[in-house]
Amino acid sequence: METKRLTIDDIARELNISKTTVSRAISGKGRIGQETRDKVLRYIKENNYKPSAIAKGLAQSRTFNICFVMPGDYSIVDLPFYQGFLWGISNTASKADYDVIISMVTEKDISQLVRLIENQKVDGIILGRTLEEDKAEEYLLSKEIPFVTAGSSKDASVIQVDNDHRSACRELTLVLLRKKMKKMALVGGNMGYIVNQNRLAGYREAYLEFGAAIDSSLVYLNLVNENDVDKVVDELIEKDVDCIVCMDDYICGCVLGKLRKEHVRIPEDIKVASFYNSILLENSQSVITSLQFNVTEMAAVCCNTLLSQIDKKEVPGKTLLGYEVIIRESTQA
């Protein structure tokens, strides 16, 4: 038999009751007599009624939308990460009959996010980046809406899902120190990003565990563009460093490009490692020692954690996911 495309309006009209009463019968919430509830449920069963997402939303006071908030100032290098992350969220959300809306914020402008919340367009939020001074995070806390950060937060009250960058960077740095690299440089980007702070902490912990001192003259942070990196690499060549450790794939890509221009051989002249692997590095001429993280796994955990929050289930305050240290040709003797 063909399924009837009934609506809540149709059911209310056929049974001569209000739409509110129909919604209460479907959701099981609110004051309604048992006889009326049974009548509605019997009618639904007999007519193969399947509530739409809108109808379910009305019945449960939900939109069945969640929002993934991307940084509006992301670069083309970041795109593979966010594509993979969005795929992981969408795949997980669809299994729970949720749709995903994308919003963008910058360090100073969170107006898109505010508009979504004020207009009650979503049931929860996944923040795609965490900052030292995070306006989006502060705003969501003030609104008491369910949200999860894809990354660590300084605020312990925030529900967080992150890769264990600190442990990963400590382990990779220890591997390099044990290879007897005495003049090792660290090159990093914006230290306002919590992820970079965790990577730096792991680097420092490795030196402490190894019983060696970090040469502060070989640590370069807050580099924002390729020109900044080029100047640093020139200095590092002059200083005759053994190895350049890059905080992320963008920095590493810039380092590799500059070394190639200067005809510096990897690993014969200078060794190179990255605290984050990506398609960018996999397609480079040199095979780079790096840290591998599972983006889609992180996205799925973020989404499931958020959906549990929306359902008012208890969730862990912070979830740290694993990693893989991949030793490749770029750091071989």
Rounded Cα distance between 41 and 279, Å, is 53
* Mean pLDDT value of segment 40-69: 73
Longest dimension (CA), the chain: 86
Give the pLDDT of residue 2.
Answer: 44
Report the alpha-carbon distance of residue 109 to residue 74 in Å, rounded.
14
Strands laid side by side in the 271-274 sheet: 219-220, 184-187, 243-246, 271-274, 289-292, 324-326
Across all residues in the chain, what is the average pLDDT?
Answer: 89
251-284 pLDDT tens trace: 999 999 999 999 999 999 999 999 999 887 877 7
Q: Is the pLDDT at 241 greater than 90, yes or no?
A: yes
65-164+295-323, CATH topology level: Rossmann fold (3.40.50)
In this predicted model, what pLDDT tens digit does every residue of 110-165 receive, in sequence order?
999 999 998 888 999 999 999 988 999 999 999 889 999 999 999 999 999 999 99
> What residue spans define the domains of the chain?
8-60, 65-164+295-323, 165-293+326-331
- The burial of 228, by beta-carbon neighbours within 10 Å (0-12 exposed, 13-18 middle, 19 or more buried), is given as middle
Q: Nearest to residue 44, comparing CAs of 28, 31, 57?
A: 28
Reported as a single tens digit per residue, the pLDDT across 158-190 is 999 999 999 999 999 999 999 999 899 999 999
Give the fold, CATH level 3, of 165-293+326-331. Answer: Rossmann fold (3.40.50)
What kind of architecture, by CATH, is found in domain 8-60? Orthogonal Bundle (1.10)
Fold identical between 65-164+295-323 and 165-293+326-331?
yes
Q: Which residue in this structure is represented by tokens 């940084």? A: 71
Point out the least confidently predicted range of 19-28, 150-159, 216-225, 232-241. 19-28
Q: What is the DSSP string of 193-245?
A: BHHHHHHHHHHHHHHHHHT----GGGEE----SHHHHHHHHHHHHHTT-SEEE
Q: What is the DSSP string of 63-125?
A: --EEEEEEETT--GGGHHHHHHHHHHHHHHHHHTT-EEEEEEE-SS--HHHHHHHHTT--SEE
